Amino acid sequence: MKSTLTGIIVAMQEELEIILQQLEQPQTVERAGMHFHVGLFAGKPVVAVICGVGKVNAAACTQLLISDFRVTQIINIGIAGGLGPGILPGDIVIGDSLVQHDMDVTALGLAPGQIFRLNTFDFKSDPLLLGLAQAASAHITAHNSYTGRIVSGDQFIACPEKSQWLQKEFSALACEMESASIAHVCYLNQLPFVCIRSISDNANNGAHMDFEQFMPIAVENSSILLRHMIPSC
Ligand code: ADE
């Protein structure tokens, strides 16, 4: 069997803490101001890193994982804003399709989100990693798990109109600020990718307060799922 090395990308310190506590034989390497933690997680070799918030940080980090650390697949975990009344804090959204919602070439006749002269509208998660994430989501019993589109942009969404637009325009279940750019870089490098997010807020008026309150449970849920899927990766 081909050996795998999994890159695990999170955006914030809070999202990495649980993983670092469980990382065996840890070694840290610094590149571009980011700390890449190499070790064994759930018995498998991984490189775990905080990329920072936003699409540029996430894209730079992804390319470093691929070019410098030679990871063979990438999993992005963390928190997200839920879109629509049915998706509640703590719920899991596994992204099967990722789109950059702030990519706007509509002036040239392209649909919102479509990247100029790229032969795909969305970036798809790897079917194998997606299946493993869905199977592992059975371990989250107190919250619901969904699979669907996640949209990313360099904006913290905290307004009902924008949240409704993201639902209507992209049929998205969740929004955050990194995964579509990670998926884009993986697409360019033909590397398997999946995104697993847990909901911290509903991207509406109270999002900034919900975010603080529900972040711990959301972080815990996405890392539980990761721990259960990594042994099969
Ligand atoms: N990450 C968590 N909640 C978010 C929101 N409302 N908008 C963008 N990114 C998020």
- On the question of pLDDT at 206 being above 90, the answer is no
Residue 231 CA to chain centroid, in angstroms? Answer: 19
- On the question of pLDDT at 1 being above 70, the answer is no
Confidence of residue 2 (pLDDT cuts 50, 70, 90): confident
In angstroms, what is the span from residue 175 Cα to ligand 1's centroid?
Answer: 6
Mean pLDDT, residues 219-228: 94
Residues 139-149: tens digit of each pLDDT: 999 999 999 99
Catalytic, 15? Answer yes
Per-residue CA distances from 49 to 32, 59, 153, 158, 221 (Å): 12, 13, 20, 27, 18
Which is catalytic among the residues 122, 126, 201, 210? Answer: 201
pTM (two decimals): 0.97
- On the question of pLDDT at 20 being above 90, the answer is yes
In angstroms, what is the span from residue 24 Cα to ligand 1's centroid?
Answer: 31
d(CA 53, CA 61) in angstroms, rounded, equals 11
- On the question of pLDDT at 21 being above 70, the answer is yes
Beta strands in 83-152 (DSSP E): 92-100, 123-124, 145-152
Minimal-distance CA residue to ligand 1 atom 9 = 176
d(CA 142, CA 153) in angstroms, rounded, equals 29
What are the domain boundaries of the chain? Answer: 6-232
Which is catalytic among the residues 14, 15, 161, 169? Answer: 15
Contact 48, 23 (CB under 8 A): yes
- On the question of pLDDT at 68 being above 80, the answer is yes
Which of 51, 91, 164, 176 is the pocket-test mutation for ligand 1 (most atoms within 8 Å of CB)? 176
pLDDT at 215: 92
Domain 6-232 has CATH 3.30.70.1230: no
pLDDT at 132: 98
Q: Which residues, judged by CB distance below 6 Å to any ligand atom, belong to the binding site of ligand 1?
A: 79-81, 156-158, 175-177, 200-201, 203, 207, 211
pLDDT at 209: 86
Closest ligand 1 atom to residue 163 Cα is: 6
Closest ligand 1 atom to residue 203 Cα is: 6
In angstroms, what is the span from residue 148 Cα to ligand 1's centroid?
Answer: 16
Confidence of residue 110 (pLDDT cuts 50, 70, 90): very high
